[in-house]
Structure 1
């Protein structure tokens, strides 16, 4: 393809338009290493969270804070990746104005692949950020779309790294002219990532709570000092029937009133609510151990439990407690939190609280438990 006359190459298409020494392969490789680490961490922890919600039977009940740590790390790394992606795009955006736009079929396919990769990354990071705000300004289901975008972005990233492996290897450690300028730029990028992390990670890292200035959620705000994602009004459970009973189905079925539950041995456990939006908060939960209820109805060893909520609709109205959680001594049918009767928004009259379990699976407003 012949080069057009200089008169036709205007604006950013002119030769030498981008003169900054920072638009070079070395800077792109350094920022790319940081971005790759953040995206890989975000992808692996997000994949773990998705698998837990789809099929929790394989997840152990210990460590108690396991899901809290992995999901917190997922959101922290995702937010940190946003300024890193901006810095990476800034270092390479002059490539958009290369002339000719496509030197060959392979070059055109490479550029198309990069366009798909960038679009997938931007969608993945910003839909994830909007999810932490519980704001969904789109018509498609978030979780499934987020899951497949993650695969698309990660697969595109691996293909891009493979295609650019020779250039990446050449500039992995090799410094280029303009070292002081590059150091200043990389220091600014690192500082921005640190600032974003420091001012948002407190929603899941307790010892950073004091610096939690811009996180979407404050883990200490809400009814009884705990945040709420789905309120009783949203679930249609603001009015609990006066004759509420808990049905426990098993070899010897039981129907228990709230007074009956209160007369059973009560246990207390310090457990976190850890939500997919990244926030988590610990509280003291008091109630009846699920394994004691299973013994009362003669459940066999290794039984699972299906839990049903009073709410009429919702994706997590019915959940399963796998064997490890159902028989764990810390898993409670909670009746109180921090010494107080559960508020309606926290699941009154009873809710499940189990260790190492996503908040969406800690079923509220429980009305039925079925031995499987």
Structure 2
């Protein structure tokens, strides 16, 4: 045992460094949890929740931060595990009941953290083969387990962390052999980890920040690539709407709690007052772009159908049997002047993969809720 402890005798395997990395991870994981909770609530809104339609780019920011902090957490977590892993070999393994609770809480904490970062990274890379489950549900519930374990761990380690941070670090010269063997001082180690996190973020954040698009070599989506120069996640072929979307007999219907149900052809939609808005598409995988959309205001259609003043709606796609085949509009979103059923993108008729003949676009909404290939709106 003495030889084993000597093997781990390094200035980098100390409580102060573990505390610093733990605080950094606490910040990134808490930020990820809060922004992820926002995203999940938007995609699956409870009846009591009303998400505002403004500011238009708020979801773009929260989801971009969610993905960026998740990516930044990867080097932080690996570094933290490397710093503290010698503690696993201490004898006796459990010194008290409190110590036993702390050790048990590490199982969901470490396991949950690794699961969240792996599945989150696989999701933004569109690599679903190693995930034989529905990502959204698994990621959501694992987040609660992980954050709960994190709260327990923080409570158990708070006193030790404060003591470690209050203690002045030993001079590097006091451990010349160990410092030379590891090749890094504590400051050098922290700087290396911070640099690794920064490089990973810069290499991917160009999906959201256009000025960094050229240097984001690890970004799965290139902002200028795709139909009409815009990326898409789901094509018309994948959605199975190649024929129905191009049907010359296509009609858009407004139904539900209305006095005058509507049935409109594309020509009739084009003949209605058109509105133009610059709005972002913000995908849950972290990429986003702003574009110029033109179409009919949802509120104008509600008024034409005789809907009541506080009406919400459900917009439905030609894509059948999909969890994202429809999306809700609360009353704030439905009556926002920039919530459109768009016919054009950047001055041209919608490409099929962008939702032709008609797609929903509105401010401050997840991309999965900007329903494509719209054929019906049900007023609620």
TM-score w.r.t. length of structure 1: 0.94
Which whole-Å CA distance do the structure 1 matches of 2:288 and 2:65 have between them? 12
Describe the shift of the 1:226–1:173 C-alpha distance in structure 2 as closer, same or farther (beyond 3 A).
farther
Unaligned runs of 5+ in 2: 173-183
Offset from partner CA, 1:139-172 (integer Å, 9 cap, x none): 2211111011111111111111110111111122
The alignment partner of 2:7 has SS state of coil
CA contact (8 A) 2:299 2:336 kept: yes
The residue that corresponds to 1:75 in the other structure is: 67
- Of stretches 302-311 and 56-65 in structure 1, the one that deviates more from structure 2 is 56-65
CA contact (8 A) 1:21 1:178 kept: no
Offset from partner CA, 1:56-97 (integer Å, 9 cap, x none): 751100000010000000000000001100111111010111
Which whole-Å CA distance do the structure 2 matches of 1:219 and 1:245 have between them? 32
TM-score w.r.t. length of structure 2: 0.92
When the two structures are aligned, how many residues end up with a matched partner? Answer: 362
The residue that corresponds to 1:5 in the other structure is: none
Q: Work out which of the residue numbers 55, 65, 76 in structure 2 matches 1:63.
A: 55
The residue that corresponds to 1:120 in the other structure is: 112
Offset from partner CA, 1:169-202 (integer Å, 9 cap, x none): 1122432114581111111111111111111111
**1:241-260 matches, cutoff 5 A:** 241-249=247-255, 250-260=258-268
CA contact (8 A) 2:119 2:131 kept: no
**1:1-372 matches, cutoff 5 A:** 9=1, 14-55=4-45, 58-136=50-128, 137-179=130-172, 181-239=185-243, 240=245, 241-249=247-255, 250-372=258-380
Offset from partner CA, 1:280-320 (integer Å, 9 cap, x none): 01110111111111111111101011111101121011221
- Of stretches 200-209 and 147-156 in structure 1, the one that deviates more from structure 2 is 200-209
- Of stretches 246-255 and 198-207 in structure 1, the one that deviates more from structure 2 is 198-207
The CA deviation at 1:133 is 1.2
Unaligned runs of 5+ in 1: 1-8
* RMSD after superposition: 1.5
Q: Which runs of 4+ in 1 moved over 6 A?
A: none
The CA deviation at 1:105 is 4.8
CA contact (8 A) 2:124 2:285 kept: yes
The alignment partner of 1:281 has SS state of strand
Offset from partner CA, 1:110-139 (integer Å, 9 cap, x none): 222112210010001110111101222222
